[in-house]
Structure 1
Amino acid sequence: MPGWLTALVIAAGVIIASWLVLVVLARRLPPGLARDLAAFLPDCVTAARRLRRDPRVPRRAKIAVAFAAVWVLSPIDLIPEFLPVIGPLDDIIVVALMLRYAARSVPRDVLLEAWPGNPDLLKRLLGR
């Protein structure tokens, strides 16, 4: 195997292992703001999936949710992901802004129904 391919496999393994460690540590956090923030992006993914399939959600809200999903999945970031703590910050901000934009056109009960996490965090995010 060429040296660059070996290095790529090792780097991918290290990244996946670090993600697994972070997931395990995040699940062990005590209830509170830190745990809510650790669960924010996974909760957003679940809510986006649910909102995308809901017929009560307007098309412009679905487009905003799709934009947020593409942003998170994009390999191009304003802040590199490998930086601890601040790496996913740009993803969180874009998802929060798009979710807030989409929430203005989605009925509140539909949005709360789609949100799997702490409803207080979503209410704080929406500002209503």
Structure 2
Amino acid sequence: MTMAWWWQTLISVGVALLVVWLAALVALLVAKPGKAQLTEALRLLPDLLRLLTRLAGDRTLPRGVRIRLGLLLAYLAIPFDLIPDFIPVLGYADDAIIVVAVLRSTVRRAGLDAVRRNWPGTEDGFAALSRLTGLRG
């Protein structure tokens, strides 16, 4: 007896999602930040969230960048994580790593000046953000 096509499709989609999740897990393990970096990132969190919101609403940025930032904000708002929180270090670091990747992408497409223009915090905070994310002009 052959399996119904919809079962095959459902299993194929499930396997594809598992493969993508495993690839993301490996990428996060490779990019794992140190404890000092996570502590500094947590101090910047309120300003960082305001920055992401401002960048997503900045009409001078390319549409693709704003869409990416909007998707990032939506990902941060949902209660499910790519890596479950019970996994030591990575469970809490996955959001930070994804934010860094999106910010780097934003700087590549829109420039560091757009990030600096929308930064709501202090110059010291921006310097810390630049150091943590590797943002360079």
Q: TM-score, normalised by structure 1?
A: 0.61
| Residue number in structure 1 paired with 2:43 | 39
Q: Which runs of 5+ in 2 are unaligned?
A: 1-35
Kindly provide the amino acid, as one letter, of the partner of residue 73 in structure 1. Answer: A
Which of 108, 124, 129 is residue 122 of structure 1 equivalent to? 129
Contact kept? 1:61, 1:103, Cα under 8 Å: no
Question: Structure 2 matches for 1:1-128, cutoff 5 A?
Answer: 36-81=40-85, 86-117=90-121, 118-124=125-131, 125=133, 126-128=135-137
Question: Unpaired segments of 5 or more residues in structure 1?
Answer: 1-31
Q: What's the CA shift string for 1:72-125, capped at 9, x where partnerless? A: 122222322356754321011111101111121223222112123411123332
Task: Tell me which moved more, 88-97 or 70-79.
Answer: 70-79
Q: 1:7-41 deviations in whole A, cap 9, x for unaligned?
A: xxxxxxxxxxxxxxxxxxxxxxxxx9665321333
Task: State the shift of 1:65 in Å.
Answer: 0.7
The structure having more radius of gyration, on CA atoms, is: 2
**Partner of residue 7, structure 2:** none
Residues 35 and 88 of structure 1: is their aligned pair in 2 closer, same or farther, counting only changes over 3 Å?
closer
Q: Check 1:79–1:33 CA distance in 2 against 1; reply closer, same or farther (3 A cut).
A: closer
Instruction: Report the identity percentage.
Output: 33
Cα RMSD after superposing both structures? 2.5
Contact 1:51–1:62 (Cα < 8 Å) also in 2: yes
- Distance across 2 between alignment mates of 1:90 and 1:72: 10
Q: Retained in 2: the 8 A contact 1:64–1:101?
A: no
Structure 2 vs 1, CA of residues 34 and 91 (structure 1 numbering), >3 Å: closer, same or farther? closer
Corresponding residue pairs, total: 97
